[in-house]
Amino acid sequence: MHRQIAGKLTGRVTKWIVLVAVIILTGALGSLGGKLGDVKDNEQSSWVPASAESTRVSNQLADAVSPNDIPTFVAYHRSSGLTEGDFAAMDEQAAEIAKLDGITDAGVLTPNAATDLRAQGANVPELVSADGEVAYVYFTFNLGKEGWNKIATPIEKIHELSAIDGVDVYVGGFGGQAYDFTKSFDGSHVTLLLITFGVVVLILLFTYRSPVLWILPILCAAVANFMATGVVYLLAKYANLTVNDQSQYILSILVIGAGTDYALLLVARYREELRRHEDRHEAMAFALHRATPAILASAATVVIGLMCLSFADLNSTASLGPVLAVGVAVTFLVMVTLLPALLVICGRWVFWPVRPAFGTAEPTQSGLWARVGKRIAVRPRVIWVGTTIVLLVACLGMFKLDSSGLSTEDSFTEKFDSIIAQELLAGHGLADNSNTVQVVANDDQLDAVEQAVAGVDGLGGTTDPTSLGGGRSYFEAPIKADISSQNAFTIVEATRTAAHSVEGAAALVGGGSAFYLDTKTASIHDNLLIIPLVLLVVLTILILLLRALTAPLILMATVVLSFGAALGLSSLLFTYVFDFAGTDASFPLFAFVFLVALGIDYNIFLMTRVREETLTRGTRAGSLVALGSTGGVITSAGLVLAATFLVLATLPFVFLVELGVAVALGVLLDTMIVRSVLVTALNLDLGSRIWWPSKLDRGDHAVAPESAGKEERVSVGS
Cβ–Cβ < 8 Å for 42, 244: yes
Displacement of CA 127 from its chain's centroid (Å): 39
Mean pLDDT of the chain: 83
Name which of 513, 600, 530 is nearest 563 in CA terms.
600
pLDDT for the residue 699: 55
Name the most confidently modeled range: 77-91, 102-116, 270-284.
77-91
- CATH number of the domain encompassing residue 260: 1.20.1640.10
Name which of 559, 591, 597, 569 is nearest 675 in CA terms.
559
Q: In the chain, what is the straight-line distance between the N-terminal and C-terminal CA atoms, in Å? A: 18
Residue 417 belongs to a domain: no
Residue 27 belongs to a domain: no
Q: Of 467, 501, 518, which residue sits at a domain end?
A: 518
Q: Of 497, 518, 539, which residue sits at a domain end?
A: 518
pLDDT for the residue 67: 74
The interaxial angle of helices 486-500 and 512-546, nearest 10 deg, is 110
**C-alpha pair distances (Å), 153 with each of 49, 141, 285:** 31, 12, 56
pLDDT for the residue 11: 67
- How many domains is the chain partitioned into structurally? 4
Q: Which residue has better confidence, 190 or 685?
A: 685
Q: Of 154, 185, 216, which residue sits at a domain end?
A: 185
pLDDT for the residue 473: 92
Residue 38 belongs to a domain: no
Cβ–Cβ < 8 Å for 97, 121: no
DSSP letters for 480-501 = SS-TTSHHHHHHHHHHHHHHHT
Q: Are residues 681 and 583 in the same domain?
A: yes
Cβ–Cβ < 8 Å for 433, 478: yes
C-alpha 34/C-alpha 238 separation (Å) is 16
What percentage of the chain reaches a pLDDT higher than 70? Answer: 90
pLDDT of residue 617 exceeding 50, the answer is yes
- CATH number of the domain encompassing residue 595: 1.20.1640
Contacts of 282 (CB under 8 A, 6+ apart): 7, 714, 716
Q: Are residues 355 and 366 in the same domain?
A: no
Give, in degrees to the nearest 5, the angle at Cα 546 between 711 and 336.
Answer: 60
Q: Are residues 102 and 134 in the same domain?
A: yes
Q: What's the mean pLDDT in 296-303?
A: 86
pLDDT for the residue 82: 92
- Please, what's the b/e burial string for 48-70 (b: 16 or more CB within 10 A of its CB; e: otherwise)? bbeebbbbbbbebbeeebeebbb
Q: Are residues 98 and 133 in the same domain?
A: yes
Q: Are residues 385 and 314 in the same domain?
A: no
Q: Are residues 318 and 376 in the same domain?
A: no
- CATH number of the domain encompassing residue 109: 3.30.70
C-alpha 585/C-alpha 674 separation (Å) is 27
- Please, what's the b/e burial string for 586-607 (b: 16 or more CB within 10 A of its CB; e: otherwise)? bbbbbbbbbbbbbbbbbbbbbb
pLDDT of residue 555 exceeding 50, the answer is yes
Q: Are residues 199 and 340 in the same domain?
A: yes
Give all strands of the β-sheet with 466-469 in edge-to-edge order. Answer: 466-469, 472-479, 432-442, 508-511
Residue 295 belongs to a domain: yes
The pLDDT tens digits of the residues spanning 656-666 come to 899 989 989 99
Q: Which residue has better confidence, 129 or 125?
A: 129
How many residues are there in the chain? 718
pLDDT for the residue 716: 40
Contacts of 479 (CB under 8 A, 6+ apart): 431, 432, 435, 436, 437, 458, 459, 460, 488, 491, 492, 511, 512, 513
Residue 526 belongs to a domain: no
The pLDDT tens digits of the residues spanning 666-706 come to 989 988 888 889 999 999 998 888 888 887 766 544 433 33
Name which of 584, 478, 493 is nearest 114 in CA terms.
478
Contacts of 301 (CB under 8 A, 6+ apart): 537, 538, 541, 597, 600, 601, 604
Q: Are residues 141 and 202 in the same domain?
A: no
pLDDT for the residue 712: 39
C-alpha 19/C-alpha 338 separation (Å) is 6
Q: List helix spans (H) across 277-367.
A: 280-307, 315-335, 338-346
Q: Are residues 72 and 180 in the same domain?
A: yes
Residue type, 141: F
Instruction: Label residue 632 left, alpha or beta by phi (over 0 means left) and psi (-120 to 50 means alpha).
Output: alpha
Domain that includes residue 209, residue range: 187-359
**C-alpha pair distances (Å), 449 with each of 176, 441, 476:** 32, 7, 12
**3-state SS, residue 213:** coil
CB burial of residue 320 (10 Å; 0-12, 13-18, 19+): buried
Residue 210 belongs to a domain: yes
Q: Are residues 367 and 330 in the same domain?
A: no
Contacts of 400 (CB under 8 A, 6+ apart): 568, 571, 572, 574, 575
Residue 236 belongs to a domain: yes
Sign of torsion over alpha carbons 149, 476, 172, 87: positive
pLDDT for the residue 297: 84
Residue 409 belongs to a domain: no
Cβ–Cβ < 8 Å for 648, 249: yes
pLDDT for the residue 707: 38
Q: Are residues 603 and 642 in the same domain?
A: yes
Eight-state DSSP code of residue 673: I
**C-alpha pair distances (Å), 41 with each of 1, 56, 182, 190, 427:** 39, 20, 12, 19, 32
Q: Which of the residue ranges 158-162, 536-540, 598-602 would you say has the lowest mean pLDDT? A: 598-602
Q: Are residues 120 and 263 in the same domain?
A: no
